[in-house]
Chains A and B, each alone.
Chain A
Amino acid sequence: MSFSSLSAAEIVGGIRKRDFSAVEILTSFYERAESLEPSLHALLHRAPEIARKHAAAVDAAVARGEDPGPLAGVPVVLKDNMCVRGMPATCASRILEGWIPPYDATVTELLETSGAVVAAKGNMDEFAMGSSTEFSAFGPASNPWDTERVPGGSSGGSAVSVAAGYTPLALGSDTGGSIRQPASFCGIYGLKPTYGLVSRWGLVAFASSLDQIGPFARTVEDLALSLSVIARPDPRDATSSRRERPDYFASLAPWKAPGRESAPLAGKRIAVVKELRNRKDSVAAEVDDVLHKTLALCREEGAEIVEISLPVSLEFGLPCYYILAPAEASSNLARFDGVRYGLSSDQKSLIDLYLKTRGSGFGNEVKRRILTGTYVLSSGYYDAYYLTAQKVRQLMKKEFAAAFAGCDLIALPTAPSPAFRKGELVNDPIQMYLADVFTLPVNLAGLPALSLNGGFTSGEKPLPVGVQFIAPKWGEPELLSTAAVLEKKLGTAKIAPCGCAKASADRAADAGIAGSERGGEI
């Protein structure tokens, strides 16, 4: 029996009612992965033995009449930069090949104590540096809507796992868009929480002031469900906020509030960004179209559409990010030295051990970023690059704060284009960086943002197109609420055809309907 279309909430409900067992759900996960992995390569490691023990423990708890937890029996894919005791964590890099973390990340602990079953580790760009999952040292993942295309990145494997129906839930990390952009390319939900909401302990650091863990799902309810589990204060992460977390389920049905039935977004001001008008040439027409149709839908649901301005963020965010993130990465990745874990080149001198281990263990993109980061931090260049970028970052933060004085949410395309073809940008790193132009300002300002599927491109193989909503700090309830209203209109995220011709035709028909039924221009 296939359970691939079930949401996490439906799986938990079914297990609690004993309609099926956690072991059956897990078996279905591995069967689906087994059949689709040859074409998708979403996973780097499967851990059936460990996972079966956890699933059996959930079934045993249910049999004893105990509460099996809010994520009971839900198989989860974790991006391969999160530690799970006993499972490899390679970060898709040769330099960590063979390393088995001796501890659990905080998110792993929280998931497992909630009954979730970590079933596999997701493919990714090496050390989360990339926007296509093509920079994985173990081979690229494929987009399940068109396997000739990339799934986005860097959390591509996690996104594919959800879009292809292996699992209803996966975690990724987002440093400059690495949850939202693959969510957009794969047609699912992706949430990048406020910096400090989810503990980073046990997440292999890329850029510590920007990294944040968040969920992928096919329903808004599952986003809320997973966020309520992982968004906990953690004394082991000094940047983890101690503030009380709200009830993320409370915001999921705003139409149930008295007087809001027909206009659940009434009173909500959703902003379009003025500068986007000047970027028509760099945003694909179908992306622009989906954004405006989604905004029209928001207006139909009662939202007021306003205009705000983010000139610094949209013009200077990209160079700012590509100075600061590599600077932090060059420092964080200094720990991979061949002495304590992972790859180690056998050399006669310590300096040669460092040079050779790192030179052969890191891939090209990681090397480029380490060198860039080292350069911008080096004596004589620090002020011109790093310090200047930190000042621009401050301006961006203030710019967002000023914008939110006039709106509740900001809407932007998640990415300038739908999924691009494999190999299209891989030899042009700066063009690849442009894929993050609308997502990375959010990380620089420490804000939460959610990408949802707003529609599809036309054509034989329709591709999903994401829309990103950005909220002020700690505004996750507002994001979930808006996404829930739109989900009611657009439907939950669909499982992708995964290279199957018949399914592709069916999805094309669905996508055509979904696209044409949406509202007009605003």
Chain B
Amino acid sequence: MTPSDPGAYALDTKAVRHVADLARLRVEDEEMDGLVKHFGAILEHFNVLSAAGKEGRLDLDAVDPFLFSDTEIPPAREDVPIVSSVREDVLGSAPRRKDSFFVVPRILGQHGGEGSSSPCGEEGVSS
């Protein structure tokens, strides 16, 4: 059950929850069974690739991974100034704003530290 042997690794509830935390995605308890089942099936499907490599059906050792735009590298844009005045347009979509800032819950509390209790109504701003 190690990362070097992914074929033997089945994702359980704890592992799915960990991946969901990495993805900043809240997963409700009632969703969990379905996700664990899905992961079991999809990883089995994915492991076909590694297995084919090991069995010699795919010769992957000598292959460079796909490099994007390897046949045609687009030229850089001309270095010319352009007028860009989209701030109001962009801020206009903000769920919460204050002046020219997006407003988010306070990251550092009054006494510092993420997750410390922020008094209702006190928020941080992010530009």
Contacts and interface: CB of A to CB of B under 8 A. Distances in A.
Q: Looking at B50, B69, B86, B104, which has the most chain A CB atoms within 10 Å of its CB? A: B104
A346 to B, nearest CB: 8
Contact of A242 (B45, B74, B86): B74
Given A239-B69, A371-B25, 7 more contacts: A235-B77, A316-B49, A338-B95, A351-B24, A385-B6, A387-B65, A393-B65
B42 interface: yes
B65 A355 contact: no
Nearest to B34: A364
Given A356-B26, A358-B26, A390-B65, A344 B19 contact: no
Contact of A359 (B16, B27, B92, B115): B27
Given A338-B95, A349-B118, A430-B41, A388 B53 contact: yes
A102 B93 contact: yes
A341 B20 contact: no
B58 A312 contact: yes
B58 A323 contact: no
Interface stretch (A271-279, A374-382, A492-500): A374-382
A196 B105 contact: no
A355 B23 CA distance: 9
Interface of B: 3-4, 6, 11, 16, 19-20, 22-28, 31, 34-35, 38-39, 41-42, 45-46, 48-50, 52-53, 58, 60, 63-66, 68-69, 71-72, 74-75, 77-78, 86, 89-90, 92-96, 102, 104-105, 107, 114-115, 117-118, 120, 124, 126
A397 interface: yes
A364 B31 contact: yes
Main secondary structure of the interface of A (DSSP, over half): helix
Interface string A336-347: 011111111001
Contacts of A337: 24
A123 to B, nearest CB: 22
A309 interface: no
Given A100-B93, A392-B49, A394-B66, A355 B105 contact: no
5 contacts: A334-B24, A349-B105, A367-B27, A393-B66, A429-B38
Contacts of B46: 319, 322-323, 376, 385, 389
Contacts of A241: 72, 74
Given A99-B93, A381-B3, A319 B49 contact: yes
Nearest to A355: B26
Contacts of A338: 95
Contacts of A390: 65-66
A384 B104 contact: no
Nearest to B71: A473
B93 A341 contact: yes
A364 B31 CA distance: 9
A316 B26 contact: no
Contact of B25 (A99, A367, A376, A388): A367
A489 interface: no
A319 B6 CA distance: 15
B77 to A, nearest CB: 5
Interface string A33-73: 00000000000000000000000000000000000000000
A389 B89 contact: no
A358 B25 CA distance: 6
Q: Looking at B41, B93, B95, which has the most chain A CB atoms within 10 Å of its CB? A: B95
Contacts of B45: 318-319, 322, 430
B62 to A, nearest CB: 9
A362 interface: yes
A371 B28 CA distance: 14
A145 B75 CA distance: 46
B96 A103 contact: no
B35 A353 contact: no
Contact of B42 (A235, A347, A372): A372
B95 A339 contact: yes
The 8 closest A-B pairs by CB, nearest first: A359-B26, A380-B3, A102-B89, A344-B95, A390-B65, A341-B93, A393-B66, A355-B26
B120 to A, nearest CB: 8
A192 to B, nearest CB: 18
B63 A395 contact: yes
A371 B16 contact: yes
A248 interface: no
Interface in A421-453: 429-430
B22 A381 contact: no
B23 A391 contact: no
Nearest to B6: A384
B75 to A, nearest CB: 6
